[in-house]
Amino acid sequence: MIDPTEVKSLIRLLDDPDAEIYNHVHEKLFSYGAEAIEYLETAFGEAFDPIQQERIANLVHEIQFASLKKDLELWFHGGAFDLLQGILIINRYQYPDLDEQKVINQIEAIKRDIWIQMSNEGSPVEQIKLINHILYSIHGFSGNTTNHRDPQNSFISQVLETKKGNQISLAIIYSIIAQKLDIPVYGVNLPQHFILAYLDESRETEFEGGILFYINAFNKGMVFGRRDVDMFLKQLNLQYDKQFYEPCSNTDIIKRVIRNLISAYEHLGSSEKVDELNELLEILG
């Protein structure tokens, strides 16, 4: 437990012109971690000095970013099994105070809408048609074609709120919901595009890797085949590579989300955010 009186006294010293005093105070407050945040946020609201406000805001961000890095490390070294948990950690970069249960509830609500109409006898294509109907026609999700480079397209809370996202964020939502319904849909790390694959392990073949078909979550769940992937790669002048056809790991998915964010913030000229996101990328190896 931290001493509130001591914390408040330290916060008052944040605008000290003496660099040595400021650095000592900064380090001490930083060492308290998340426990100090509520005191810092209260002080921010009461501060009139712009230097003190800026220093408080920066310190809060540093504490939250350190916590985020730790959580991402734990997720990665723990096996990166839960994709939703991974994408929520990245969401915290921009929305550290978000109630994550709200996101989980939104995902569960869509899953429930699909489950209510699901038939056990449904073929793989029928299952996908049902997901597409609920996700795109009923809930109104669509690809953000007008502002594709907006970083908001990569934050799951915003995509669920606005119903608009990029290829990978829509594919993440699609695959998380499908897997919760025991429908084997997984992400495929295609260059310049992110798609989904429907797997049927019972039809495992050496060449197809058990994949029945592919799904384009950005284009209302359009179903397509291996030849379409061949043609797409041919247009990009890329040689055959197994990884362009088969499901990738959750770590690869989160790395791609971070790279998208780096590209978006580079475009906006936010060099500090680019540096921090590169730190997150390094954690994932």
User: Structurally, how many domains does the chain consist of?
Assistant: 2
3-class secondary-structure state, position 238: coil
**Same domain? 137 vs 91:** yes
Burial of 203 (0-12, 13-18, 19+ CB in 10 A): exposed
**Same domain? 126 vs 153:** yes
Please, what is the angle between helix 167-180 and helix 250-268, to 10°?
A: 150
pLDDT at 196 over 70: yes
pLDDT, one tens digit per residue, over 174-186 is: 999 999 999 999 9
Does 206 or 165 have the greater pLDDT score?
165
Give the pLDDT score at 47.
80
Q: Report if pTM > 0.85.
A: yes
pLDDT at 206 over 50: no
Domain of residue 197, residue span: 83-283
Domain finish residue from 44, 77, 110: 77
pLDDT, one tens digit per residue, over 228-253 is: 998 998 898 888 888 889 999 999 99
Nearest to 13 by CA among 4, 22, 5: 22
**Same domain? 117 vs 199:** yes
**Same domain? 67 vs 140:** no
Count the neighbouring beta carbons within 10 Å of the beta carbon of residue 216: 21
**Same domain? 51 vs 92:** no
**Same domain? 146 vs 204:** yes
DSSP H helices, the chain, are: 4-12, 19-32, 37-46, 50-77, 83-94, 100-117, 124-132, 156-162, 167-180, 226-235, 250-268, 271-283
pLDDT, one tens digit per residue, over 7-65 is: 888 888 888 888 898 899 999 999 999 999 999 998 888 887 888 889 999 999 999 99
Count the neighbouring beta carbons within 10 Å of the beta carbon of residue 183: 20
List Cβ neighbours of 80 (8 Å cut-off, separation of 6 or more).
86, 249, 250, 251, 254
CATH of the domain at 72: 1.25.10
pLDDT, one tens digit per residue, over 89-134 is: 999 999 999 999 999 999 999 999 999 999 877 899 999 999 999 9
Q: What is the DSSP letter of 245?
A: T
H/E stretch holding 195 reads strand 195-199
Q: Decide: 231 and 245 in contact? Cβ < 8 Å.
A: no
Give the pLDDT score at 15.
82
